[in-house]
Amino acid sequence: MSQSINFKRHRRLRSSNAMRSMVREHHLRTEDFIYPIFVIEGENIKSEVPSMPGVYQLSFDLLLDEVKEVFELGIRSVIFFGVVSEKDEIGTGAFAEDGIIQQATRLVKKEFPELLVVADTCLCEYTSHGHCGVIHNHDVDNDESLQLLAKTAVSQAEAGADIIAPSNMMDGFVAVIRQALDEAGYSHIPIMSYAVKYASAYYGPFRDAADSTPQFGDRKTYQMDPANRLEALREAESDVAEGADFLIVKPAMSYLDIVREVRDNFNLPVVAYNVSGEYSMVKAAAQNGWIDEKALVMEKLTSMKRAGADLIITYFAKDVAKWLKEDN
């Protein structure tokens, strides 16, 4: 080839695995992951979620074994979701002193004090109608719901939760919860806000796992329109002003542009929620032999870090932790 032709030789930095590792810009670590766990009432229950292979509803007597495995894999954060049989119009189980999440938190923090317990703060798993707040005239009453969410957050903090994660998407939820926590003596407890939560079709398997499907209508009057980008920035800006300490973008896979927007505009830790539908699609394809599951999952989660996520809530956390150990 003529020496007069000048071009960049980018392949020099891809010449070997060692070279590629040296210049790799983003990495996955077990410390990046928050592992979701579904806690169910009863005894000796380990019930696999049909639409989420490898994910289980676990009763209290089996919960510590699960958490022990998580901790030994190097994962240092979990988020609990409750599955209850008794529900009512206002979701009393969410803020009861002996509520399922409160009991799970006390149990786990006693045995694993170094594990960070994130408490999902919402009412949908505990309401008979499946919505995230109090219903009046077939609509969620924003301000009345806020008072119950504040009670829920305080009860979770009293139980020992390290982080409060409100997922309800009511206007003003961060401000009201922050004030309630401060007044109750929990000014040191951070809020991991579901700041940008879209009304997504990717949530279907989760609603099987948590038994939280709305009994009428949908959640589009409080969760965001998937077509909107600027609205995400307005939502995040409000939560930052109200006192959020982390910003969650949910879902992650189809919203990496939003993860990047949030990362570029705010200096708080950004959390990507790799949701149930994203998980189940990969598991289904892997079970059919259509994909290399490990390669695809590692690529997908790395893309979330590349987009700007500091942390990832993912059902793949245990799988990836095992793969990372194997690779090392």
Just list the catalytic residues.
Answer: 197, 250
Buried b or exposed e, range 223-243, using 16+ CB within 10 angstroms: bbeeeeeeebbebbebbbebb
14 is in an annotated binding site: no
Strand partners, 164: 119, 191
3-state helix, strand, coil in the chain (%, to 5): 45, 20, 35
Separation of alpha carbons 249 and 46, rounded Å: 30
Cα–Cα distances in angstroms (integers) from residue 49 to residues 40, 46, 269, in the given order: 12, 10, 31
What is the dihedral sign for C-alpha 144, 247, 49, 84?
negative
Q: Is 85 annotated as a binding residue?
A: no
207 marked among binding-site residues:
yes
Are 156 and 121 in contact, with CB atoms under 8 Å apart? yes
- 276 annotated as belonging to a binding site for a ligand: yes
* Cα(75)–Cα(328) distance, integer angstroms: 16
Q: Which long-range contacts (CB under 8 A, 24 or more apart) does 3-8 make?
A: none
The encoded tokens of residue 222 equal 């409080």
Q: Are strands 163-166 and 192-197 parallel, antiparallel or unpaired?
A: unpaired
Give the residue among 265, 259, 275, 257 at the shortest CA–CA distance from 310: 259
Give per-residue burial for 282-301: e unless 16+ CB within 10 Å, then b.
Answer: bbeebeeeeeebbeebbebb
76 is in an annotated binding site: no
Backbone dihedral angles phi then psi of residue 262, each to the nearest 5 degrees: -65, -45
Asked whether residue 234 is marked as a ligand-binding residue, the answer is no
Q: How far apart are alpha carbons 138 and 153 in whole angstroms?
A: 25
Instruction: Please name the residues in contact with 198: beta carbons below 8 A apart, sequence gap of 6 or more.
Output: 223, 224, 225, 226, 250, 251, 255
Task: Quickly count: other Cβ atoms within 10 Å of residue 52's Cβ.
Answer: 20
Annotated binding site for Zn(2+): 122, 124, 132
Annotated binding site: 122, 124, 132, 207, 219, 235, 276, 315
Annotated binding site for Mg(2+): 235
